[in-house]
Structure 1
């Protein structure tokens, strides 16, 4: 099959760090255009909006959306209604309802919708899932701590309503948890810490329950300085599994397992191509549902103001 002609929407940090390198390696897609209010991509046609891009280039078959979640629904709905396949960065939207609406639009227009969870494509995730199958899981501990100033420099949208705050990285952990556990879990307790000048949390502590009295606890924090922490530890009746570095490193009872190199976004685009070829969609909302439950159930704690560039004298 000829490569799918693709337009990339939202040319920010994640597009430049991940999407563009993966697209340059992909034999499945031909990047022909970009749409962004403030940036373009060298060597392809650039437009200020998705509508302008699709009007000018009707040959575009698919779009990949990298803008913040608050703005994604309108753009995705327009593309789906115009018969284009759509790939969504995580989280797939600002609310569950809007993503469910997109899934319905994709089905009614006969196109593919792919709500991606890039951390599920980390090299240790599938082996971890396979190892846990058939074992009695007693406890899972998730620690996801990173420096928001490093990963989202100056990106105030992440602390606005709908930006998810610390759940923007935390949902990556939840995407792995819901992939590797062989049973469902549900939230029983949550504490969310909000800077007094922000609308989204900077830290969260979550407790989940599951079958057979399994214990699942998660701690997320956007204030980590120095080495970053992305760990999931699972205690079972047959040993202890540890995923670290966001799923790139897998240890069983302390022994590191051989893993292929990290290629999360290469995996995403390969999966998107497979969905288009099969005429299918993939929209798993489990990670986003857990985040929504945390906002519903969580106790609100208030902490000091947060600034990307601390005020003079602070």
Structure 2
């Protein structure tokens, strides 16, 4: 499979060169080439040999990378439509890092990418800086916990979500109710607005459908339950996080980026009254397990 945008180009020899390489190394399932940028800016990019860390930090391979159909079918979401405002290709490469890859780079400039100062991608980078943070929330198994907590912190700041992204997140939640991330994003939007009860409901929904390794909805529900005074739900969430990380690691992760340590009991050490709606959400989550 080769994904080619309408305004980009590939060299006439690209496919044949790739076929020869694959024929010589039958196990190869992903092939990419050096890339020439043209248009409003001209430069050359030599993609590094594919490493998981590179995909996490630096972003995707050239969009014209060739890959076997089995890789596309092996990813759960392909170009993930739940993600607001793009970065679907980056999310796709991150999904690929979970699969057994045998890749080869063609040491020729056979892919050509048109650079435009006012492209959709560059406008998104300027106008919707939260999108990469939302994308990282899709991969709690790949990104460090602390990195994602910093993303959460920034998203929860005033204007952490632009209005356009808020609208897209709402649509994503409607179209993908069985995905954890859209509910998580909605919860953060509501938490940032101070609607903690609605945020708790969204986090609970996210928790019901989250993968076992996805700690984010449990962590956010823990924080919100504390603020709502629901000691029982907060304690259950904290216990789940302790089972996942241990006491010492949770103490580290519970430190906000600006310093203060978050406790799961109130400052007086008393258990506040349980919130009924959160209690029902907790029972729903337990039943789903």
Query: TM tier, shorter chain?
Result: under 0.3
Compare the two structures and name the one with the higher strand fraction: 1
Which of the pair has the greater relative contact order for Cα pairs under 8 Å at 6+ separation? 1
Q: Name the TM-score, length of structure 1 as normaliser.
A: 0.25
